[in-house]
Amino acid sequence: MHTAFDTTTRFDHRIDHVWTALTDWDRLGDWMPGVTSASGPDEPADGDELALTMQRGDRVSVLTEWRPTTTMAFRSTTGPVAAEYRYELTRVDETTTDVRITGRCAVRGPMRLAAPLIRRTLRTTDGDQLARLRDLMDGRRSR
């Protein structure tokens, strides 16, 4: 997989509050572009599935890493394109949290020729997810 984007955003919120907002499946569509609704298990674990209703159809993502309050990663595959998003939370102090998102993708077959364009599209579409989540938590309108 090749990295499409890797960014860190600071939240003026406690790490447990950020984790709760990040993993609130009912609100995922409020800050994750393209998602209109999502559902997942109440107590997720590695290998569990998230059902995402997207503007362009349904998708199932698989949780590849689940470490409560520190790490969540999931992978989605659509045809020859696999995308993985990894979120890492770091406690800065009692009321401040840094969240890092890394978006990666792999493209198989003839579509590999379009891989740079696909990575740029992921970066453009999803690179500001954390800023959107922070705005939501801060009571501001999303970008």
**pLDDT of residue 143 exceeding 60:** no
What pLDDT digit, counting tens, does each position of 47-62 carry? Answer: 999 999 988 888 899 9
What's the average model confidence in pLDDT over 65-69? 96
- Can you tell me which residue has the tokens 């890797």? 6
Which sign, positive or negative, has the C-alpha torsion 5, 104, 61, 49? negative
In 3-state terms, what secondary structure has residue 45?
coil
Residue 76, beta-bridge partner list: 61, 83
What's the average model confidence in pLDDT over 38-52? 93
DSSP letter, residue 119: H
8 Å CB contact between 128 and 143? yes
pLDDT band at 140 (very low <50, low <70, confident <90, very high): confident
**pLDDT at residue 55 in the model:** 81
Report the C-alpha gap between 12 and 28 in whole angstroms: 20
Report the C-alpha gap between 128 and 5 in whole angstroms: 10
**pLDDT at residue 142 in the model:** 58
What pLDDT digit, counting tens, does each position of 84-99 carry? Answer: 999 999 999 999 999 9
Give, for 18, the enclosing helix (H) or strand (E).
helix 15-22
